[in-house]
Structure 1
Amino acid sequence: MNRLTLYTTLGCHLCERLETLLARLHHGEYRLEKVEISEDEALMERYGVRIPVLVDEAGDELDMGFEPSRLAAWLADRHCLDETAWRCQSGEMVSGEEERGEWKPSVQRSTGRRYLG
């Protein structure tokens, strides 16, 4: 199981986005420990303007992991990127779907409203 740490603070919408992306793109099981930085001056100084910061077991940090491409690259470097989920997230076709004519975008627009496809 992959153990990750998320430096965050209450109400951080970017942290919530990172958690959502992580749940979608991480291959296999992982444990996410959330560390509230507002309760510690040293953590506030280190991470205050950088959150969310995702850290792996080796101590390697990812700033701005709420950007899908940055998170995907970081996970791929650790061999825990769900490639299929990433292809779907980034709008690419899953292998073989194009030849079979089965690929459809995940979101279709009609009359200005968004519908899941």
Structure 2
Amino acid sequence: MIELRLYTTLGCHLCEQLEALLATLCDARYRLQRIEISDDDGLVARYGVRIPVLVDEAGAELDRGMEADRLAAWLADRGWLDETAWETLRRQLAGDAEPREAKGAVMRGGRRYLG
């Protein structure tokens, strides 16, 4: 299982977007550790204007991972990209396909929850 860290802060909609994209595009099992930066001045100084920042087990960081093409390239470099999901998402972003639910997403009461 892949261990990933996400530097985030409460209410970060860009971080939520990254998590949804990660659930859709990553074809490997992963565990995501969310690190709240507001509790640490050093983390705020390092990541405050860069969040969301996704970090792999080797310490390689991805800024702006909420941009689908950046996240897809980052995942592909590591062999973790679901190529079919990426092609479907690219078509959706271009307006050429129907939306697809994220892997592991569950609808409850009209809201989507990621598994």
Instruction: Provide the secondary structure at the position in 1 that maps to 2:91.
Output: coil
CA RMSD of aligned residues (A): 1.3
Q: Report the counterpart of residue 53 of structure 2 in structure 1.
A: 53
Q: What is the one-letter code of the residue matched to 2:54?
A: L
Q: Report the counterpart of residue 66 of structure 1 in structure 2.
A: 66
Following superposition, the deviation at residue 105 of structure 1 comes to 2.0
> CA–CA distance in 2 between the matches of 1:28 and 1:53?
19
Segments ≥4 residues shifted beyond 3 Å:
none
> CA–CA distance in 2 between the matches of 1:45 and 1:105?
41
Q: What is the one-letter code of the residue matched to 2:64?
A: M
Q: TM-score normalised to the size of structure 2?
A: 0.81
Q: Report the counterpart of residue 85 of structure 1 in structure 2.
A: 85
Following superposition, the deviation at residue 29 of structure 1 comes to 0.5
Unaligned runs of 5+ in 2: 100-115
Q: What is the one-letter code of the residue matched to 2:42?
A: A
Unaligned runs of 5+ in 1: 93-103, 108-117
Q: Report the counterpart of residue 98 of structure 2 in structure 1.
A: 106
Higher RCO (Cα < 8 Å, 6 or more apart): 2
> CA–CA distance in 1 between the matches of 2:97 and 2:57?
36
Q: Report the counterpart of residue 11 of structure 1 in structure 2.
A: 11
How many corresponding residue pairs?
96
Q: Report the counterpart of residue 27 of structure 1 in structure 2.
A: 27
> CA–CA distance in 1 between the matches of 2:28 and 2:2?
8
Larger Rg: 1
